[in-house]
Amino acid sequence: MRTERNKDGTYNVWMSRTEYNEIPRQANTRMQEIALRLMGDCGLRVEETLHVTPGDISRKKDGRSYELEVTKGKDTTGEYEGGKQRETWMPVDLERQIHRHAREEDIDDDEPLIQRSKKTVQNWVTNASERAADETGDTDYQRVSSHDLRRCWAQHLLVEEGVSPRIVMALGGWSSYDAIEPYLTAPTEDNIIDSMSEVSL
C-alpha cells in the first residue's frame, strides 16, 4: 500500500486488489459489504451507492456478465438534470450477493439497496478499514476513504488489467481524460517493488 499526503492534510491511498479485498471482508453486515463493493468493484462514488436498486442490474448480451445502470451519477457539467446516467460492469458474485440480499430483505426492484445516509456509508468504509488495519497490522488502512475504493478500482483496470482509458472513463463516469490520468501514472507499492527489484544501484 502506498499513501500520498495532500495539501489539505488528507491522503490518497493506492492499494493492490489484495489489499482492497481485505476491506469488504471486514464489513459487519451484508448491506455494508455490498456498499463497499459497489465502490471498489463497480467504481461508484459514495453518493451513487445510495440510489442503486435491484432493477438497475441487468444481464449483458453475452448471457454471463452483468451491468449496473447508474441513474443519478455525478454531473460536473451541469448538463444533466437529476444526474448523469451511465452503465458500469458488475462482478457475477456481487450480482448474486445483491440478488440474495434483495430477496431475503424483501427489497423491491425500484427500492434502494442502501437505505442510509452518505455519512453512514463513509463511516462504514472508515470502520471496515480500521478493522483491516487491526487484522493485518498495516496502519495505512486507517487512512482509507470511500474515494480510495473507487481510485483502487480505476487503477486496477487501467494499470493491472490494461483496460482502455476510454472504457474506464465510460464505466466510471469521467468526461475528461485529465480526470483519470493520475490513475494511469501513480504506481502501487507492488509496481514499485517489481520495477525496482530489477535495478542495480
pLDDT tens digits for range 147-184:
999 999 999 999 888 899 999 999 999 888 888 888 77
Check: pTM over 0.85? Answer yes or no: yes
pLDDT tens digits for range 46-58:
999 999 999 999 9
Q: Cell numbers of 193, please?
A: 517493488
Q: Would residue 54 count as lying in a domain?
A: yes
- Residue 201, pLDDT > 90, answer no
Confidence of residue 188 (pLDDT cuts 50, 70, 90): low
Rounded distance between C-alpha atoms, residue 22 and residue 82, angstroms: 34
Which residue, chain included where needed, has cell 462482478?
91
Q: Would residue 61 count as lying in a domain?
A: yes
End-to-end, the C-alpha distance of the chain in Å comes to 24
Query: What's the DSSP call for residue 68?
Result: E
Domain count, the chain: 1
- How many other β-carbons are positioned within 10 Å of the β-carbon of residue 118? 15
Contact 158, 165 (CB under 8 A): yes
- What φ, ψ does residue 59 adopt, rounded to 5°? -80, 140
CATH of the domain at 116: 1.10.443.10
Q: Would residue 114 count as lying in a domain?
A: yes
Q: Would residue 132 count as lying in a domain?
A: yes
C-alpha 72 chain-centroid distance: 16
Q: Tell me whether residue 34 is exposed, middle or buried, using C-beta atoms within 10 angstroms of its C-beta: 0 to 12, 13 to 18, 19 or more.
A: buried
Which of 9-23, 73-87, 130-144, 178-192 is the most confident on average? 130-144
Rounded distance between C-alpha atoms, residue 82 and residue 80, angstroms: 6
Q: Would residue 63 count as lying in a domain?
A: yes
Which residue, chain included where needed, has cell 427489497?
107
Q: Would residue 27 count as lying in a domain?
A: yes
Contact 170, 86 (CB under 8 A): yes
Contact 88, 43 (CB under 8 A): yes
Q: Would residue 184 count as lying in a domain?
A: yes
Q: Would residue 201 count as lying in a domain?
A: no
- Host domain of residue 42: 2-196
Question: Mean pLDDT, the chain, as a whole number?
Answer: 89
Q: Tell me whether residue 128 is exposed, middle or buried, using C-beta atoms within 10 angstroms of its C-beta: 0 to 12, 13 to 18, 19 or more.
A: buried
